[in-house]
Structure 1
Amino acid sequence: CLQQAAKWSWKVSNKSHSFQTCFCILSCSSSERRGSRAELRRSSVYSTMDLVPQLEHYANSLPRQMTKSRPSLETLRKTFEVRCMLNIWGVILFLRLSWITSQAGIVLTCVIILMSVVVTSVTALSISAIATNGRVVSGGAYFMISRTLGPEIGGPIGVVFSFANALACALNTVGFAEVVRDLMQEFGAVMVDPINDVRIIGVITVTVLLMISLAGMEWESKTQILFFLVLLVSFANYFVGTVIPPKVDKQAVGIFGYRGDIFVENLTPDWRGSEGSFFQMFAIFFPAAIGILSGANISGDLKDPATAIPKGTLMAIFWTTLSYLGVAVTVGSCVVRDASGNKSHIFTGNNTDGCVGLACNLGWNFTDCSQSQTCQYGLVLGQLSGFYYLITAGVFAASLSSALGFLVSAPKVFQCLCKDQIYPYIIFFAKGYGKNNEPFRAYVLCYLISIAFILIAELNIIAALISNFFLCSYCLINFSCFHASITNSPGWRPSFHYYSKWTALFGAVISVVLMFLFTWWAALVTLSIIIFLLGYVNYNKPKINWGSSVQAGTYNMALSYSVSLTGVEDHKMVKWSNKVHTLLNPLTALWT
């Protein structure tokens, strides 16, 4: 049967063989069919240089005879959307957005938010196309890119993406530790000092998260709903707090309700400190927009990923963007930039001599702390809420859910990279345990990396580094989509068609530009690592064939050059005009 099938592949143009061969193939036993697949994997009937690509990496356009029982598409889409929103919302929303608004002003803060959304939206379109090009298993962005661009680009992105997720775990853990430290200070509890307290709390927190990850994550999807509800309550608590008339204690910290003069005053930037610049604020905010890839890992479980991934990811980006814009505008309309928190600074009369600032017109004198830049209050999100501790609960929900999600995703991506054996000495981390093939060794590695950056204990520094690595990941994702599209790879057949190769190229270019504008030295280090990893794969040439767009581009280039030679006309030889007069024997010619 296999021999007849091979003969038919050579005579595919002859229609008389089609029915006979199809009948033969269908009549083969299951063992023969498995043997035929193995035979085709060893050598192609066309005697090509490359192995036949694994067909399971491409989208199956034929209807399946047997389908597994799955939840409805709407249920999965909503779950996908919630998953993305929880990973996009993080500690930056609660701990840094109001501070960024005080530095950059309402207008530039909205520009920062929208520019971040442009990068993530373009990347979401590219990842939707890549994810719907074939069946995606564990490995997430690494698996999709390596099977699209090949191991040359897939290997470096696997390393960078795993490292970026470990950094994101550290970021959210440090944010959680800062809030716990502030709560302890309110009750007069201090362990060592503010910085070391963050380190101690952060290490304890990430250790507990590691224990949860090692114990199993069956309950993780259920707790996501709980975290989501807590975040919704926190948002409702905040917006209700903006319309509650402020009392004296809230006015002392700079909250005066919606006022046009406060809105106008906070429209323009007021840069302060060493971090007071547009791109520094951009770099600190950008981690609030990451998390769009968190749901792409479950595309293999979706009934219709071509619909679920774009809708889930883009709707998550839309709603989180509205929340960011809403918080930036409302906090800038209700709170002054500088406030002392001292109730004795209220005016008892109409004399405002020597008072400087917008608060003077509102009956408060914050001049001393404003001029010395020692005001402890001002544009603070928690104080503006209806109930302060609900905002604290929101910080806990956002930070812990994101930290746990990144702590789980980073080892799984790295495990998939180790299984492919693209780089040496990392196969140790590929081993899985239990029925779910949990990468316990990779968990420990991610845990150690997270602790190393938790010890920095500075949220702004960690946020800037994370922005660099995630921008590098987004650059490679967009470039892979662009390269697969422009090379017309036969294996590039995404079910999602609402993307453009030019928007993907724009996303790749703007990601590199922002990397250098944020932290140029970190961008150079990251690109040097990428070039080194890429050069190693090109030098080592792993014996794997994933039908990548790199091979397709090489084939198209060779084909176009070969076709161009068919149009070369015959021409006379002008410079070379020698004519052979006599043929001599070389041995006799030496003695002539």
Structure 2
Amino acid sequence: MLRQHHKKTSRHAEHGVTGYSVSTFRNNSAPRYEDHQNWFTVFGVFFPAMTGVFAGINMSDDLRNPVQDVPVGTMAAVGTCLFLYLVFVLGLASTCQRWALTTDYLIAEKASAIGVMVLSGLYISSMSACLGALYLTPRIVQSMANDGILPFSRQLSLGKGPNRVPVVALVLFALVTFLFILVGQVNTLAPIVTIPFLLTYACVEYAYFSMAMTYDMQRRRNERFRQQACLIRAQAADTHKSPTASSYGALADAKRVHDQTGASARDHSTVSSTESPITSPDEHSSIRSAESRESNPSKGTDSGATDRSYLLGK
């Protein structure tokens, strides 16, 4: 049994695994960049590992209360991932030599007690990342196409089925992904992927900063419009209760237009009645008597008496 343990220990030592050691951790704690490597290249490789926490933000349409659930879920995901990554990094730094960490990408499988569990977790996390990308990215492209931002927006906005699955956007995303897979080097591909992420986050943060800076201005403007609307409703209510309370404004103008229209209609009816054709002598005499009364109001009573006496005599 001691011989098997010695063989296992020697095999781990050949792969650069020394076990938990303070000297190994001290040797790996200081930065020692290789040729053509610096802090930014290392950050570019590490940064894509932190982008999966924003998958919940892209699925905000499926949440019951996005305003409350998205911040809580995002912060919980960031905290959990940060804790697991720190434990993973500190564990490898305490058990593996530097040359093994920089050359062997599967050093975690050799340093673990059960290597199959590490490989299973690697496959599961890879499948989860692929499924998340296949579900989220085409829908983002479809939403942008619905707004007319992208070229060929009509084709990219098409959906199939009741859930409007973006088939065209999914095929386009798969083709672009295959092109990046052909690179074959993770350390070469990771900085290329990091740049679009950082540009997108910079634009989002600038948009939020602009909205936050103009929040007070927008609130004052909304308050002013609300006060004006309340004042207009109050004036309308007062005018409706007391017709003589207001002699100016839109309501008074509408009333004057209505009065003028009624007066013109009455004048038109009067002119029409005076210009109507005469069909009998009696109508002719009544029209002449009406005209004489209008021209001489003082004689209206005498002409009326004359007409009555004429009719009685007849």
Normalising by structure 1, we get a TM-score of 0.34
**Deviation digits for residues 21-43 of structure 1, max 9, x if unmatched?**
xxxxxxxxxxxxxxxxxxxxxxx
1:326 corresponding residue in structure 2: 87
Q: What's the CA shift for 1:379? A: 8.8
- Aligned residue-pair number: 213
Q: What's the CA shift for 1:248? A: 2.2
1:445 corresponding residue in structure 2: 172
1:278 aligns with 2:278: no
Q: What's the CA shift for 1:378? A: 9.7
Contact 1:432 1:438 survives alignment (8 Å): yes
Q: Which amino acid aligns with 1:482?
A: F
After superposition, residues 16-165 of structure 1 pair within 5 angstroms as: none
Q: Which amino acid aligns with 1:337?
A: R
What residue ranges of structure 1 are gaps of 5+ in the alignment? 1-245, 340-374, 493-551, 553-592
**Deviation digits for residues 165-198 of structure 1, max 9, x if unmatched?**
xxxxxxxxxxxxxxxxxxxxxxxxxxxxxxxxxx
Among 41, 44, 67, the alignment partner of 1:306 is 67
1:252 aligns with 2:9: no
Contact 1:263 1:333 survives alignment (8 Å): yes
Q: Which amino acid aligns with 1:267?
A: S
Q: Matched residue of 1:272: which SS?
A: coil
2:185 corresponding residue in structure 1: 458
Contact 1:254 1:378 survives alignment (8 Å): no
Contact 1:335 1:378 survives alignment (8 Å): no
After superposition, residues 257-268 of structure 1 pair within 5 angstroms as: 257-268=19-30
**Deviation digits for residues 101-159 of structure 1, max 9, x if unmatched?**
xxxxxxxxxxxxxxxxxxxxxxxxxxxxxxxxxxxxxxxxxxxxxxxxxxxxxxxxxxx
Inter-CA distance 437–376: structure 2 relative to 1 (3 Å threshold): closer
Contact 1:338 1:378 survives alignment (8 Å): no
Q: Matched residue of 2:59: which SS?
A: helix
CA distance in structure 2 between the partners assigned to 1:266 and 1:328 by the alignment: 10
Inter-CA distance 489–292: structure 2 relative to 1 (3 Å threshold): farther
After superposition, residues 176-575 of structure 1 pair within 5 angstroms as: 247-274=9-36, 276-338=37-99, 380-488=107-215
Q: Matched residue of 1:418: which SS?
A: helix
CA distance in structure 1 between the partners assigned to 2:22 and 2:106 by the alignment: 16
CA distance in structure 1 between the partners assigned to 2:184 and 2:104 by the alignment: 22
For the aligned residue pairs, the C-alpha RMSD in angstroms reads 2.5
Q: What's the CA shift for 1:403? A: 1.4
Normalising by structure 2, we get a TM-score of 0.62
Inter-CA distance 490–300: structure 2 relative to 1 (3 Å threshold): farther
**Deviation digits for residues 531-556 of structure 1, max 9, x if unmatched?**
xxxxxxxxxxxxxxxxxxxxx9xxxx
Larger radius of gyration: 2
Q: Percent same amino acid among aligned pairs?
A: 28
CA distance in structure 2 between the partners assigned to 1:437 and 1:448 by the alignment: 20
Inter-CA distance 252–448: structure 2 relative to 1 (3 Å threshold): same
CA distance in structure 1 between the partners assigned to 2:217 and 2:152 by the alignment: 34
Contact 2:60 2:66 survives alignment (8 Å): yes
CA distance in structure 2 between the partners assigned to 1:320 and 1:248 by the alignment: 33
Report the structure, 1 or 2, having the larger helix content: 2
Contact 2:60 2:70 survives alignment (8 Å): yes
Structure with larger RCO (C-alpha < 8 A, sep 6+): 1
Structure 1: which 4+ aligned runs deviate by more than 6 Å?
Answer: 489-492
Q: Which amino acid aligns with 2:10?
A: V
Contact 1:411 1:443 survives alignment (8 Å): yes
Inter-CA distance 448–252: structure 2 relative to 1 (3 Å threshold): same
Q: What's the CA shift for 1:491? A: 7.4
Q: Matched residue of 2:64: which SS?
A: coil
**Deviation digits for residues 485-515 of structure 1, max 9, x if unmatched?**
11127878xxxxxxxxxxxxxxxxxxxxxxx
CA distance in structure 2 between the partners assigned to 1:271 and 1:314 by the alignment: 32
Inter-CA distance 455–267: structure 2 relative to 1 (3 Å threshold): same
Q: What's the CA shift for 1:377? A: 5.3
**Deviation digits for residues 295-350 of structure 1, max 9, x if unmatched?**
123333333333311111101100110111111111111112236xxxxxxxxxxx
CA distance in structure 2 between the partners assigned to 1:408 and 1:305 by the alignment: 19
Q: Which amino acid aligns with 1:386?
A: A
CA distance in structure 1 between the partners assigned to 2:16 and 2:10 by the alignment: 10
Inter-CA distance 489–301: structure 2 relative to 1 (3 Å threshold): farther
Q: What's the CA shift for 1:472? A: 0.9
CA distance in structure 1 between the partners assigned to 2:114 and 2:152 by the alignment: 53
Q: Matched residue of 2:52: which SS?
A: coil
